[in-house]
């Protein structure tokens, strides 16, 4: 796949980075509930403990401070737990170590690692990931759509800001969804799983000459916040179960970025609200 940065150039003073699944597109819940978790149960033959495993998968990946974790790290955690509580998962620690040490967590990187290790667990993890991608393509199109206000807000922001999709999801799936809803015409660069971590993507975007205080990351998961904070840029949370409301208020937040009133008390308040929303009982 070609370099995702190859056609990108800085055009405006401000940059808004936007996560896709669960942030702009209402697709995260359905993908985890119908694809990620069930495909793991099938791949490792865990039907005897299906209900407990799927409940934990959704809690870890959707409704806690590990929301949005990379698919392979989420799988490693789930397999370790299944190995400990339910049944032996062959060679699980080889796969876990790869998720901890690899600079890139993608199908391509995993395939290369399999060539080096021959690990059965890693082979099954790759097959699982491919089956997840296939299952996602088979989801009813009408069940996946942008959250309220997304289309209007992105179009408006693009008048004064460069727009980057910064996602850890599969590139093809993100491109298809943003194209289908006519959002990609308001995007300057699409950075997905193949482009590296969100942290490294923002770091590379900053190298184009943006002032850090003029860059904002909008996301729904702690990984989005960490990627922003580690690069010294602003973070705007899209709150779980309050997504449309969050998008409605994003334009005002970007105005604060432009007039230098985002940092400090306002930013701290947004982060506290975000953490409270994911840690409530």
Task: Note the pLDDT tens digit of each residue in 73-86.
Answer: 999 999 999 999 99
Q: What is the pLDDT of residue 131?
A: 98
The residue written with tokens 């033959």 in the block is: 45
Query: Is this model's pTM higher than 0.85 or not?
Result: no
In tens digits, the chain (281 residues) has pLDDT values of 578 898 899 999 999 999 999 999 999 999 999 999 999 999 999 999 999 999 999 999 998 999 988 899 999 999 999 999 999 999 999 999 999 999 888 899 999 999 999 999 999 999 999 999 999 989 998 999 999 999 999 999 999 999 999 998 889 889 999 999 999 999 999 999 889 889 999 999 999 999 999 999 999 999 999 999 999 999 999 999 999 999 999 999 999 999 999 999 999 999 999 999 998 76
Residue 254 · residue 157 · CB < 8 Å: yes
Burial 115-136 (b: 16+ CB within 10 A, else e): eebebebbbbbbebbebbbebb
Q: What is the pLDDT of residue 169?
A: 84
DSSP H or E segment with residue 117: helix 107-117
Check the CA dihedral 248-251-254-258 and report its sign.
negative
Q: Dihedral through CA 62, CA 67, CA 70, CA 71, nearest 10?
A: -10
Q: What is the CA radius of gyration of the chain?
A: 19
CB half-sphere exposure, 76, CA atoms < 13 A: 17
Closest residue by Cα to residue 12 from 188, 175, 181: 188
Helix 107-117 vs helix 92-101: crossing angle, to nearest 10: 130
What CA–CA distance (Å, rounded) separates 184 from 91?
41
> What is the DSSP pairing of strand 25-26 with strand 145-146?
antiparallel
Q: What is the pLDDT of residue 22?
A: 95
Q: What is the pLDDT of residue 281?
A: 65
pLDDT digits (tens, 9 = 90+) for 107-124: 999 999 999 999 999 999
- Please work out, in degrees rounded to the nearest 5, the angle formed at the alpha carbon of residue 170 by the alpha carbons of 18 and 3: 80
Q: What is the pLDDT of residue 1?
A: 55
Q: What is the pLDDT of residue 57?
A: 97
Q: What is the pLDDT of residue 17?
A: 98
What CA–CA distance (Å, rounded) separates 115 from 64?
35
Q: What is the pLDDT of residue 106?
A: 87
């Amino acid at each position: 796949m070609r370099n995702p940065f190859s056609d990108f150039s800085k055009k405006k003073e401000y940059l808004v980075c936007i996560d896709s699944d669960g942030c702009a597109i209402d697709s995260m819940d359905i993908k985890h509930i119908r694809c990620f978790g069930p495909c793991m149960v099938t791949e490792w033959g865990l039907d005897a403990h299906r209900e407990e495993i799927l409940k934990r998968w959704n809690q870890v990946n959707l409704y806690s401070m590990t929301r949005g974790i990379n698919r392979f790290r989420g799988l490693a955690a789930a397999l370790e737990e299944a190995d400990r509580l339910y049944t032996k998962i062959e060679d699980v620690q080889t796969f876990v170590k790869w998720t901890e040490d690899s600079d890139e967590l993608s199908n391509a990187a995993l395939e290369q690692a399999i060539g080096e290790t021959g690990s059965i667990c890693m082979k099954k993890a790759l097959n699982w990931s491919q089956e997840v991608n296939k299952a996602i393509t088979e989801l009813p199109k009408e069940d996946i759509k942008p959250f309220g206000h997304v289309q209007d807000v992105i179009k408006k922001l693009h008048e004064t800001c460069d727009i980057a999709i910064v996602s850890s999801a599969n590139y093809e799936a993100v491109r298809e969804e943003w194209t289908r809803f006519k959002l990609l015409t308001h995007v300057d660069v699409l950075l997905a799983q193949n482009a590296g971590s969100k942290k490294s993507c923002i770091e590379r975007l900053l190298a184009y000459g943006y002032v850090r205080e003029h860059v904002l990351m909008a996301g729904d998961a702690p990984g989005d916040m960490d990627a922003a904070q580690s690069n010294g840029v602003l973070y705007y949370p899209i709150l779980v179960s309050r997504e449309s409301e969050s998008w409605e208020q994003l334009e005002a937040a970007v105005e604060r970025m432009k007039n230098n009133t985002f940092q400090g008390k306002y930013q701290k308040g947004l982060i506290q609200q975000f953490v409270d929303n994911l840690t409530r009982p």
